[in-house]
Structure 1
Amino acid sequence: MEVEALTLVWRLQQASYIVYWTGWLLERKVTYQSVLDGVARILVLEDWLAENTAQLMSDLAARFN
């Protein structure tokens, strides 16, 4: 089901940001801190997903099923 893949998609999207920002870091377009900030955002997302995935899936399933 697509709803169940939502958290994976969010994680992949955030991981792609890290790759993107790391490329820019190598090109000296952003700072090292920018990449660290991106990693911090992923960790915040992971914490949020750990706490809220069950409720999110329940709410989405009720809405779309």
Structure 2
Amino acid sequence: MTYSEAEALTLVWRLQRVSCIVYWTGWLREGKATHQSVIDAVKNTSLLEVWLEENTTKLLSYIAPTA
């Protein structure tokens, strides 16, 4: 895996979390989920963002070491 590919993984992870917010919002509008489900999705996305900000460099060094 190249370093660029490893960097792209963090973007894909972020996009997946944002899609969860869209998913839960859709279910909320259809009456299949609660308002709390949407709030939880936003909180989890925020927690992931904080974690990625603090750990992306370390994560990338593990999955795509630069020789």
Q: Give the helix-richer structure, 1 or 2.
A: 1
SS in 2 for 1:5: helix
Does residue 10 (structure 1) correspond to residue 9 (structure 2)? The answer is no
Identity %: 60
Q: Which whole-Å CA distance do the structure 2 matches of 1:22 and 1:53 have between them?
A: 28
TM-score scaled by length of structure 2: 0.89
- For 2:48, the equivalent position in structure 1 comes to 45
The root-mean-square deviation of aligned C-alpha atoms, in Å, is 1.0
What is the 5 A alignment of 1:23-34?
A: 23-34=26-37
Q: Which whole-Å CA distance do the structure 1 matches of 2:5 and 2:52 have between them?
A: 17
Instruction: List 4+ stretches of structure 1 deviating above 2 A.
Output: none
Q: Which whole-Å CA distance do the structure 2 matches of 1:57 and 1:24 have between them?
A: 35
Bigger relative contact order, structure 1 or 2 (CA pairs below 8 A, ≥6 apart): 2
What are structure 1's unaligned runs of at least 5 residues?
none
TM-score scaled by length of structure 1: 0.91
How many pairs align? Answer: 63
What are structure 2's unaligned runs of at least 5 residues?
none
